[in-house]
Amino acid sequence: MRTLLLLYLCVYVAWAQDNLEFDDYETEVSNAGNETGGSVDVRGHRPVMKGRDRYDPHRYAPPPISGGSRYRGRPTPAPVGGPQRQEKEQQPDAGGCTHASEEMGVLCPTGCELKTTLVKQERNVKTTIKELKPQVDDLTRSSNNIYNYVNGISNSLRERQRIITANSRVVSQYTDQVEDQHSYIKETVDTVFPSNIRVLQGVLDKIRLKILKLEKAIQTQREQCKEPCKTKCPIPVVSGKECEDIFRRGGKESQMYLIQPDPFYPPYKVFCDQSTQNGGWLLIQNRLDGSVDFGRRWDDYRRGFGNIAFDVGKGHCETPGEYWLGNDRISHLTKMGPTEVLIEMQDWTGAKVHAQYNQFTIQSESSNYVMAVDGYSGNAGNCFLEGSLQLFGENRTMTIHNGMMFSTYDRDNDNWIPGDPSKQCSREDGGGWWYNRCHSANPNGRYYIGGPYTPNMAKHGTDDGVVWMNWKGSWYSLKSISMKIRPYFASR
């Protein structure tokens, strides 16, 4: 009995110690909120529990692409090689011998004339031999050809005699097989064919019925298509590499356009904002009514999803829909050169704020689309670089998004114990995003109508709404939020 009582007491002390540690954290946050003038209840991060898990804020993040020339100077031409080697000068035939040293030239005619004469005679004899040698070779080849021809005729005669004997034997075998085949064919024609013809007749009748149905369907379509079809969302004639290029080509209206950043890949549709801050903005993300589910898999975020734009009766698509452009396309566009991003948001009272970064780069899928930003300006709060201002120390560091990899519920790349299926920011917070542990901004979260929501309304009890903590806190889901990019120019 004493042993059971002692065991119960130990378990209770451990439980109380755990609760005390969590309460200490809550008290610290609450006191920090009181210092700023009110109670703060933040859930954008996942606090480190002492002795239970760890947090590693050190991750390598490549810096965003900044200004610089795209071309380097031409290479200097390679120097011409050293002095060429002078060929040996041929001495004229003077009838004598040469010195041991070539520089001294030719000796005067002496007893060496005999040598010269013999050399000349040798040349003449060699010439005659060379002329005779081809004739000897031709004679040799002719003899070989005649021998081979006679030998081939003898072999051919023997082969023909052998083939005649074999053919006689094969003809006898085929005669027997033809008789067997004839009897089989006669039996098939008399019994099998009639039954197969009846089956085919039934199949033919069914095909005739289907043809009649198709003819009726075609006639119905013709009746419905007497009037010409109208395109609900025509694409403007103006196109370009991106929205900034379209703006410079004369596309000054904000609507859906066709862009082709790379001539080796097919063009695709985007919505261009040509009015905000002198235009040229390409919409990569948009939330406005909750009509599109953003709790999707990795492949959906890689390819993109949603509705680009709608026609409201004016003959062109000037109203953007809810969509995500696609991580592959976003990465390609931001890696073409220095890029800036504009994040605009609105609450349910109509108030609007924005956050802008003049450097914004998304790496390729091989790095899990690492995000790098810099150069903040705006009035919404610098969530990407500073994290949530309602938190302090390590807890604030956990909510910084710069340098984070992209995560979805089926691809865990966040900084909250990576690889642990029970600790995934994307699964708890409702969408794909550059989660840390976990967020201070959650534009792709679940859409709540009205603004404020509670942990009881959330699927996992976390702040999974469309959140920008440095403006409205964790428990307020925005009415709309959008992300737009365009090439950055220092002259703007």
**151 lies in some domain:** yes
Q: Residue 156's domain spans which residues?
A: 113-194
Q: How far is residue 237's CA from residue 408's CA, in Å, rounded to a whole number?
A: 37
Question: For 83, left (φ over 0), alpha (ψ -120 to 50), or beta?
Answer: beta
Quick one: 364 and 450 in the same domain? yes
Report helix, strand or coil for 260.
Answer: coil
Q: Is the Cα torsion angle 423, 425, 428, 432 positive or negative in sign?
A: negative
Residues 355 and 273 in one domain: yes
* Same-domain check for residues 257 and 368: yes
Going by pLDDT thresholds of 50, 70 and 90, the confidence category of residue 179 is confident
Cα–Cα distance, 120 to 361 (Å, whole number): 84
Q: Are residues 272 and 381 in the same domain?
A: yes
Highest mean pLDDT among 111-120, 139-148, 177-186, 235-244: 235-244
Q: Show the DSSP H helices in 342-424 as ranges.
A: 383-386, 394-397
Same domain, 361 and 448: yes
Given this model, what pLDDT does residue 279 score? Answer: 92
* CA 308 to each of CA 270, 292, 324, 326, 343: distance values in angstroms, whole numbers, following the listed order: 6, 11, 9, 12, 18
Cβ atoms of 61 and 372 closer than 8 Å = yes
Q: What is the pTM of this model?
A: 0.61
Looking only at the bridges linking them, the beta strands covering 352-362 and 467-468 are: unpaired
Are 174 and 260 in a shared domain?
no
- The percentage of residues in the chain with a pLDDT greater than 90, rounded to a whole number, is 47
Maximal C-alpha separation, the chain: 137
> Do 128 and 259 belong to one domain?
no
Asked whether residue 152 falls in the same domain as residue 258, the answer is no
Beta strands per DSSP E along 278-384? 281-287, 305-306, 309-310, 319-320, 323-324, 339-346, 352-362, 371-378
In the prediction, which pLDDT does 314 show?
66
In a domain? residue 258: yes
* CATH code, domain with 446: 3.90.215.10
Q: Which of 194, 228, 253 corresponds to the end of one domain?
A: 194
The better pLDDT of the pair 276, 98 is held by 276
Domain annotation covers residue 492: no
Note the pLDDT of residue 450. Answer: 94
- Domain contains 36: no
Q: Which of 163, 194, 225 is the last residue of a domain?
A: 194
**Which of 112-121, 210-219, 321-330 has the highest mean predicted lDDT (pLDDT)?**
321-330
Residue 205 belongs to some domain of the structure: no
Q: What is the mean pLDDT of residues 64-86?
A: 55
Residues 138, 141, 146: CA angle, nearest 5 degrees: 125
User: From CA 58, how far away is CA 474, in angstroms rounded?
Assistant: 25
The structure tokens 């019994």 sit at 191
Long-range contacts of 128-137 (CB under 8 A, 24+ apart): none
Residue 30, pLDDT score:
36
| Residue 304 counted as domain residue | yes
Give the number of other CB atoms < 10 A from CB of residue 177.
9
pLDDT of residue 76: 55
Q: How many structural domains comprise the chain?
A: 2
The answer on 407 and 290 residing in a single domain is: yes
Measuring CA to CA, which residue among 379, 381, 486 is closest to residue 441? Answer: 381
CB-based contacts of 435: which residues, under 8 Å, 6+ apart? 401, 404, 407, 413, 414, 415, 416, 425, 426, 429
312 is a domain residue: yes
Same domain, 168 and 277: no
pLDDT score at 7: 58
Q: What letter represents residue 438's amino acid?
A: C
Instruction: Report yes or no on 207 lying in a domain.
Output: no
- Distance from the Cα of residue 404 to its chain's centroid: 19
Question: Tokens 């005729």 appear where?
Answer: 153
Structure tokens at 456: 């009881």
- C-alpha distances out from residue 59 to 392, 395, 415, Å: 20, 16, 9
Residue with the bigger pLDDT between 93 and 466: it is: 466
In 3D space, the residue among 342, 323, 340, 348 whose CA is nearest the CA of residue 374 turns out to be 340
Give the number of C-alpha atoms closer than 13 A to the C-alpha of residue 446, restricted to the C-beta side: 20
User: What tens digit of pLDDT does each residue of 127-148 get?
Assistant: 888 888 888 888 888 888 888 8
Q: Which of 99-103, 160-164, 175-179, 321-325 has the lowest mean pLDDT?
A: 99-103
Same domain, 254 and 172: no
What per-residue confidence (pLDDT) applies to 311? Answer: 79
Structure tokens at 440: 């201070």
Q: pLDDT per residue over 366-424, tens digit each? A: 999 999 999 999 999 999 999 999 999 888 999 999 999 999 999 999 988 877 788 89
Helix (H, G, I), strand (E, B) or coil at 340: strand
> Among residues 194, 222, 248, which one ends one of the domains?
194
CA atoms within 13 A on the CB side of 407: 30
Q: How far apart are the two ends of the chain, measured CA to CA in Å?
A: 81
In this structure, the answer to whether residues 308 and 404 fall within a common structural domain is yes
Share of the chain above pLDDT 70, in %: 77
